[in-house]
Amino acid sequence: MIFWRRLKQLRIQYGLTQQEMSDRLCMAQSTYSRYENGISKATTDIIIRIAKEFKVTADWLLDTEEANSL
């Protein structure tokens, strides 16, 4: 699973719309949508913000835990 899939998974898990998710992350909905649809790549700062807001690790968001176990 890649970042945009994890991001969408989090949003659905919390029962949020893209607008609500972007509001929680203090960004425009259009920016959030580009991340969730894999159009834009998130910066390290954005990944950290998402991880802190939703109490997950950056490794989980980036799916590096699974890659490291191979």
Delineate the domains of the chain, giving CATH numbers in brackets.
3-68 (1.10.260.40)
DSSP 8-state symbol, 40: S
Q: Is the pLDDT of residue 68 over 90?
A: no
The mean-pLDDT minimum among 17-21, 22-26, 28-32, 65-69 falls in 65-69
**pTM of the full structure:** 0.83
Instruction: Tell me how far the alpha carbon of residue 32 is from its chain's centroid.
Output: 9
DSSP 8-state symbol, 2: -
Of 5, 14, 3, 13, the residue nearest 61 (C-alpha): 3
35, exposed or middle or buried, with CB in 10 Å at 0-12, 13-18, 19+? buried
The 10 Å Cβ neighbour count of residue 33 is 15
